[in-house]
């Protein structure tokens, strides 16, 4: 099975978020962009499938400025992906998920792809538009919120779970298919130190994104803001547990207005 796993460089979890001077978006200055969260689960899933199905290959693809995608793709190689392809953007498109899907599309179409895996959403904007957009462009079915993906070789079907409002669903789908994975259900592996060293020397293929189609509606970042710092809890003083309970219920009713 030829598996493509699409990875978005996202700011490291320890990043101190700060708007750019014009206030329109996150200031990327000094931010370390890494492979994280849902995308780590996608890589893990790809590697598990490759281990289960003889002759499979995993191709990592990432869209973004080369400085960001390089670290993500090297991390993917260190984890065991077979090839790495960077779709180079200037970074300004980063706020537009449909543009990201268009960028990924070119790379995915240029390589064998039975199955396309992604995080169900990115760890930074948490938007989850790319899997559906990319699948629509590719004319494939797609599913987000997926856990526990298996290939049923006899039936030639993917089988997977999906967490939805009604409960835990199970689905089957033929290939080709696009899958957005839930985070960390599969305990992603950690790259081994010698593999990290080796990944530094691995080749990364470069692809240019298509020119943006002029008739498409655009999504333009306007403002990135941090919430006012929570000043800490208002502590409820009390003498007895009963008094604490009465006070809290009163506050929830009268002040916070959230009492059912």
255 CB-side CA count, 13 A: 7
The residues, ordered by sequence, that sit 6+ positions from 112 with a Cβ below 8 Å of its Cβ are 2, 57, 59
CB of 222 to other proteins, least distance (A): 5
Considering only residues 3 to 22 of the shown chain, the ones binding other proteins according to CB under 8 A are 11, 17
Considering only residues 40 to 79 of the shown chain, the ones binding other proteins according to CB under 8 A are 70-71, 74-75, 78
CB of 121 to other proteins, least distance (A): 8
Longest dimension (CA), the chain: 70
Question: What separation in angstroms does the CA of 149 have from each of 7, 173, 181?
Answer: 18, 11, 9
Using CB atoms within 10 Å of the CB of residue 164, give its burial: 0 to 12 exposed, 13 to 18 middle, 19+ buried. Answer: exposed
Q: Interface mask (CB under 8 A) for other proteins, residues 87-116, using x and -?
A: --------xxxx--x---------------
Under rule CB under 8 A, residue 239 binds other proteins: no
Q: Interface mask (CB under 8 A) for other proteins, residues 200-229, using x and -?
A: x--------------xxxxxxxxxxxxx--
Under rule CB under 8 A, residue 184 binds other proteins: yes
Q: Are strands 177-181 and 142-152 parallel, antiparallel or unpaired?
A: parallel
DSSP code of residue 230: P
Is the bond leading into 176 cis (omega within 30 degrees of zero)? Answer: yes
CB 157 within 8 A of CB 75: no
Taking CB under 8 A as the criterion, the residue among 27, 88, 114, 136 binding other proteins is 136
Taking CB under 8 A as the criterion, the residue among 111, 137, 202, 205 binding other proteins is 137
- Between CA 160 and CA 153 the distance in angstroms is 14
Token readout for 90 is 């200037």
Taking CB under 8 A as the criterion, the residue among 91, 106, 141, 212 binding other proteins is 141
CB 195 within 8 A of CB 78: yes
Taking CB under 8 A as the criterion, the residue among 144, 149, 207, 209 binding other proteins is 144
Site size toward other proteins, by CB under 8 A:
100
Taking CB under 8 A as the criterion, the residue among 163, 202, 205, 212 binding other proteins is 163
Taking CB under 8 A as the criterion, the residue among 110, 153, 174, 210 binding other proteins is 174
- Between CA 146 and CA 169 the distance in angstroms is 9
- If the CB atoms of residues 54 and 215 are measured against other proteins, the closer one turns out to be 215
CB of 84 to other proteins, least distance (A): 14
Under rule CB under 8 A, residue 134 binds other proteins: yes
């Amino acid at each position: 099975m030829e598996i493509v796993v699409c990875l978005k460089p996202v700011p490291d979890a320890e990043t101190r978020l700060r708007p750019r001077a014009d206030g329109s978006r996150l200031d990327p200055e000094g931010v370390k962009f890494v492979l994280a969260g849902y995308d780590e689960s996608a890589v893990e899933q790809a590697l598990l499938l490759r281990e289960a199905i003889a002759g499979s290959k995993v191709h990592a693809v990432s869209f973004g400025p080369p400085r960001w995608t390089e670290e993500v793709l090297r991390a993917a190689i260190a984890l065991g992906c077979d090839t790495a392809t960077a779709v180079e953007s200037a970074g300004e498109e980063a706020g537009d998920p449909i543009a990201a899907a268009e960028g990924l599309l070119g790379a995915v179409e240029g390589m064998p792809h039975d199955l396309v895996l992604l995080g169900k959403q990115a760890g930074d904007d948490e938007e989850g538009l790319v899997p559906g957009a990319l699948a629509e462009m590719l004319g494939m079915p797609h599913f987000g919120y997926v856990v526990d993906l298996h290939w049923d070789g006899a039936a030639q079907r993917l089988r997977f779970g999906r967490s939805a409002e009604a409960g835990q669903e199970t689905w089957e789908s033929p290939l080709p298919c696009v899958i957005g994975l839930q985070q960390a259900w599969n305990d992603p592996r950690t790259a081994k130190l010698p593999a990290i060293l080796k990944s530094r020397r691995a080749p990364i293929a470069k692809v240019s994104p298509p020119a943006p189609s002029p008739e498409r509606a655009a999504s333009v970042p306007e403002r990135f803001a941090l919430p006012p710092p929570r000043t800490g809890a208002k502590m409820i003083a009390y003498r007895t547990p009963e008094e604490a309970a009465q006070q809290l219920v009163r506050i929830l009713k009268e002040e916070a207005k959230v009492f059912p």
